[in-house]
Amino acid sequence: MPNRDRYEFASDNTAAICPEAWAALTEANEGAVSSYGDDRWTTRVCAQICELFETACQTFFVFNGTAANALALAQLCRPFQSVLCHEHAHIETDECGAPEFFSGGSKLLRVSGTNGKIDLTEAAEVIARQPELHSPKPRVISVTQATELGTVYTPNDLEAVATFAQKHSLHVHMDGARFANAVASLGCRPKEITWERGVDVLAFGGTKNGTAAGELVVFFDRELAREFDYRAKQGAQLASKLRFIAAPWAALLSDDVWLKNARHANEAATELAHQLGAILAFPREANALFLRLPDEKVAQLHARGWHFYKFIEPDIYRLMCSWSVTERDIADFVADFRS
């Protein structure tokens, strides 16, 4: 019989709201407060982000990661320009054409690369194949940190991306739906994998880290941020009761809760990989593991109530950990996996 208490390894967005974010919602749920971001929580988050990144960046709130990516890319690209991204990039595979839609036509140019990271040699070939005038003009390179395949770009990797971007006059966009997991994994300062390495704009994810909703679009180049508030509003992304998105973010950014949550998720994935003892399809560097599994094994685990899904055909499955997975969840899964 499927057991309803099984942990959902399908994604890290299956988790509940973390206690700190929940407490912040309760605390913010008092009285009448000015709307549309004219509140103390919103002001606080913008200041916290500047402090965290050690620079005077500009922060905007949107409802989800798709909006963060699509609107950020639209801001960087004119409709006849294009975006280089990995073939497994969320913007390419999971956003229903939102980047193309909100940019008014900017084409995504797919590049392959091992372990979810863009192969810059191939990226150069893709650019070289764009005959002048007849193809959209490459304008942005988008990297995902941590990647869709559970790896992370090191500061050196990003240095290479920055050099490439500079050479080809590209802006750098970072899809940081799991930015926290990347920082936790690398043990670096956030600036070392963003603006110090040429990142112009970061979509900073909170949902998978422990909030209910709401992602940040952080511009490190303030000129690029110009009138983004209008773009976000037109894109239906301006919350009137913004305090309820900002307050949980303020909680994540206080006392390093965001890092604590990410570390927990990463460590849980390490532990799960260790206990399973299985060979991984990609190096485990953040909070996900990818395993090649036979259909019968998957059917058995699904029948026992475990939820996870195939990420890459024909047989690579993803197990994703979050702030909320427990040692008990891992032990139970491993026991079923072995039996």
Applying CB under 6 A, the residues found at the interface with ligand PLP are 64-66, 90, 144, 148, 175, 177, 207-208
Q: Are strands 288-292 and 316-320 parallel, antiparallel or unpaired?
A: antiparallel
Nearer residue to ligand PLP within complex by CB, 66 or 185: 66
To ligand PLP, the closest distance from the beta carbon of 158 in angstroms equals 16
Yes or no: say if 315 and 294 are a contact pair by the CB < 8 Å rule.
yes
- List CB contacts of 134: < 8 A, sequence separation 6 or more: none
Secondary structure of 196-259 in HEC code, one letter for each residue: HHCCCEEEECCHHHCCCCCEEEEECCHHHHCCHHHHHHHCCCCCCCCHHHHHHHHHHHCCCHHH
Q: How far is the CB of 169 from ligand PLP (least distance, A)?
A: 25
Least distance CB 67 / ligand PLP (angstroms): 7
21 φ, ψ (degrees, to nearest 5): -70, -40
Distance of CA 231 to the CA centre of its chain: 21
Q: Nearer to ligand PLP by C-beta: 37 or 206?
A: 206
Nearest distance, CB of residue 127 and ligand PLP, angstroms:
23
As measured in angstroms, the least distance from the Cβ of 7 to ligand PLP is 18
Residue (143 or 225) nearer to ligand PLP, CB: 143
Q: Which is nearer to ligand PLP, 207 or 266 (CB)?
A: 207
Rounded CA gap, 241 and 163, in Å?
41
**Smallest separation (angstroms) from ligand PLP to the CB of 336:** 26
Paired sense of beta strands 107-111 and 81-86, if any: parallel
**Residue pointed to by tokens 């912040």:** 24
Between 90 and 243, CB nearer to ligand PLP: 90
B/e letters for 218-240, b = 16+ CB within 10 Å, e = fewer, are bbbbeeebeebeebbeebebbbe
Between 12 and 20, name the residue whose CB sits nearer to ligand PLP.
12
C-alpha radius of gyration, the chain, whole number: 20
H-only helix segments in 104-187 = 120-128, 155-167, 179-186
Distance CA 150, CA 128 (A): 29
Residue 267 CB, nearest distance to ligand PLP (Å)? Answer: 19
Packed helices 243-253 and 19-28: angle between N→C axes, nearest 10 degrees: 140
The Cα 313–Cα 216 span in angstroms is: 32
Q: Minimum Å distance from CB 177 to ligand PLP?
A: 3
CB of 113 to ligand PLP, least distance (A): 15
Written as six digits, the tokens of 74 are: 């639209």
> In terms of CB distance, is 117 or 208 closer to ligand PLP?
208
Q: Which is nearer to ligand PLP, 107 or 178 (CB)?
A: 178
Residue nearest to ligand PLP (CB): 65
User: How many CB atoms lie under 10 A from the CB of residue 267?
Assistant: 14
- Closest to ligand PLP by CB, 124 or 212: 212
